[in-house]
Each structure stands twice: as structure tokens, then as C-alpha cells.
Amino acid sequence: MTTYFVSRHPGALVWAAEEGIRVDRRIDHLDLGVVAPGDTVIGSLPVNLAADVCARGARYLHLSLRLPPALRGVELTSAQMRDCGARLEEYSVRRVDG
């Protein structure tokens, strides 16, 4: 079982390390072909990719923040992330065929 951290943001990687979050592989972009049942994917994925992760039998932990408008589009430091309430929240997402 592998834990993937999907982020291209240096501050997020530092935040995860400072929080003691164990990561096996840090990746900039998710290749669903590598995700296997029992894996964990951490990141801020679009809902359709989060659903694909869950459909493969993996866990999805969303990196959530309360980001004020003034910080949108800004590369955050780990301290800024902490100030914005950075946390991991587990979601189980499924696509509804209709």
C-alpha cells in the first residue's frame, strides 16, 4: 500500500512533513494507472479524479484550507497554510450514473 501526495506546491510538501504525514511518493500530477486498492491519495483533486481514486479501492484525503480571497493564487508557505486551517479530510466520492 502506497501513500501518494499530489501537489506541485512546495509549501504543501513542507506542511505535510512538519505535520508528520507519512508519504511514500510525492507527485505533481496523478496517474490513475498507479493507484491500487488500499493505497491512499492525498491532495486537492477535482471531484471526478477523487471519484476515480475511490472507485479503484483507494482512500482519498483532501487537503482542505479556509483560504481568504487575498491569498487565492498565492504560493503559500507552510505557516500560511497552518493559519488557514490546513487539514486532511477523508472523502468517499462516487460517480452517480444517470
pLDDT digits (tens, 9 = 90+) for 49-92: 999 999 999 999 999 999 999 999 889 999 999 999 999 999 99
Whether residue 64 contacts residue 83, with contact meaning beta carbons closer than 8 Å, is answered with no
Q: For 85, left (φ over 0), alpha (ψ -120 to 50), or beta?
A: left
pLDDT interval class at 98 (50, 70, 90): low
Whole-number pLDDT of residue 97: 84
Interval 18-36 mean pLDDT = 96
As beta bridge partners, residue 87 has: 64
Q: What is the pTM of this model?
A: 0.92
What rounded mean pLDDT belongs to the chain? 95
Whether residue 62 contacts residue 82, with contact meaning beta carbons closer than 8 Å, is answered with no
Whole-number pLDDT of residue 20: 96
